[in-house]
A and B are shown apart, each in its own frame.
Chain A
Amino acid sequence: MQQILFFFIRNKNFLLFIFLFAISFFFTVQSHSYHNNKFMTSANFFSGGIYNIKSGITDYFGLQDQNELLLKENRRLRQLLGSRIASDSSAIDSLPADGPFAFASARVINNYYARTKNHITIDKGRNDGLEIDMGVISSQGVVGIISSVSANYATVQSILNTESQINAKLEKSGHFGTVVWEGTNPSEVTLIDIPRIAPVAEGDIVVTGGRSTIFPEGILVGTVSAYELAQGESYYDLTVTLFNDMTNIDHVYIIENRDLQEIRQLETTIEDAE
């Protein structure tokens, strides 16, 4: 018994090290799986608050750029509205009030893009109606998917995260694929699983596919900058240059799918029936 006690006392530093290292390792592994990183994210009260103070100070430096972006978007929306009114003024009232998707705005208070698994922290949370799995876009395209929420903050798993997989399609031909990130260049993602039969050209526009419940169809992703056949030669790997400058995002929109509950319910009843 004494021997065992002596062993513990003699090696207490080593045992402490192994214990803490194991905890860290556990946290690391847990953070790699998408749905389990619910606690210990920067969406907590403490770090969220500090990031909020920081962004309150540093936001002033980018005001001009962000204002120009917002102006540009306003102009685009105004044009859309104008053309709709001009072309078909009688049809406006007969359109459905709005689709299943609702939009909310938020600001980015912390943004990582230089690592392989990047997250973004935003300043809205559960109190503002945000939930896990809602899509996040900016005026120029897809940003990511909400991975955890606290009362007043949320973290977004960025499109620049090697775990992210977003359904997308070629705008012209409508062929579906999956957008993934290789982990190196923050302005480029890869669109995989596009069948060989699809006509592909450099400069083609890639948009979200609408097959997931997260993003509506037709949200911009990027343009094709290079392509090659993947191993096995039946699918293309397309290098896509993002419309978004992921290193400089400030205002984002959160997409809520109002029909999500209904769709989920339907899908679970089918699974139960099987």
Chain B
Amino acid sequence: MQNSDIISNIIRFIVVLLLQVLLLNHINFLGYINPYLYLLFILLYPFTGNKSLLIFLSFLLGFCVDVFADSGGVHAAASVFVAWLRPWLLKFSFGVSYEYNAVRVSKGSLSQQLTLITLFVLLHHLVLFSMEVFNVSHILLVLKSTLFNGLFSILVIQCVILIFSRNS
């Protein structure tokens, strides 16, 4: 990673964290639907960056969200989970040699981006809501929350990537 990469990642970490805990956690569209934009940090982390560092940073990010939301460790668990799965998810959506072909997520085609975001968001939300509800008899509530929150998250994350991707 170059210096500029490190700085932009630190800024991204702080921005998504504050956006998430101060604004997006309080949207409560239709009563319970919130987008989880902080996944953007895990998504946009450089492809060639250190994977162990990403897992640790994801834990830290999720944990900060948890502290603000008083939710124990549910966000941390879900974030660590997708950060660990990230190489396989990237391989699935960007092809085997993703590390050499595409330098960043926004360089991929729209369908590649959408596949990646969908996989990321659904896996993350499934872990998140299973941990939060923590009750097998409420499995329908978990699936319902995963689906509706997931659609909202996918929409918001895709929009942010489209808006902020550099065209050069």
Contacts and interface: CB of A to CB of B under 8 A. Distances in A.
Interface residues of B, number: 36
A47 B56 contact: no
Nearest to A121: B70
Interface in B49-84: 51-52, 55-56, 59, 62-63, 66-74, 76-77, 80-81, 83-84
Interface in A41-84: 41-42, 44, 46-47, 50-51, 54
A69 to B, nearest CB: 20
B70 A54 contact: no
B141 A183 contact: yes
A40 B70 CA distance: 8
B73 A24 contact: yes
B132 A27 contact: no
Interface in B78-135: 80-81, 83-84, 131-134
B62 to A, nearest CB: 7
A135 to B, nearest CB: 19
Given A17-B80, A20-B55, A112 B69 contact: yes
Contacts of A27: 63, 66, 72-73, 76
A92 to B, nearest CB: 44
Nearest to B75: A24
B15 interface: no
Contacts of B52: 12-13, 16
Given A116-B141, A117-B132, 7 more contacts: A17-B84, A20-B80, A24-B59, A31-B70, A112-B25, A112-B70, A185-B31
Interface of A: 12-14, 16-17, 20-21, 23-32, 37, 40-42, 44, 46-47, 50-51, 54, 110, 112-117, 119, 121, 155, 183-186, 247
Q: What 5 A-B pairs come out closest when comparing CB atoms?
A: A31-B72, A27-B73, A24-B73, A24-B77, A17-B84
19 contacts: A13-B52, A14-B84, A17-B55, A20-B55, A21-B77, A21-B81, A24-B59, A24-B63, A24-B74, A24-B80, A32-B134, A40-B67, A41-B70, A42-B69, A50-B21, A50-B68, A114-B32, A117-B132, A186-B31
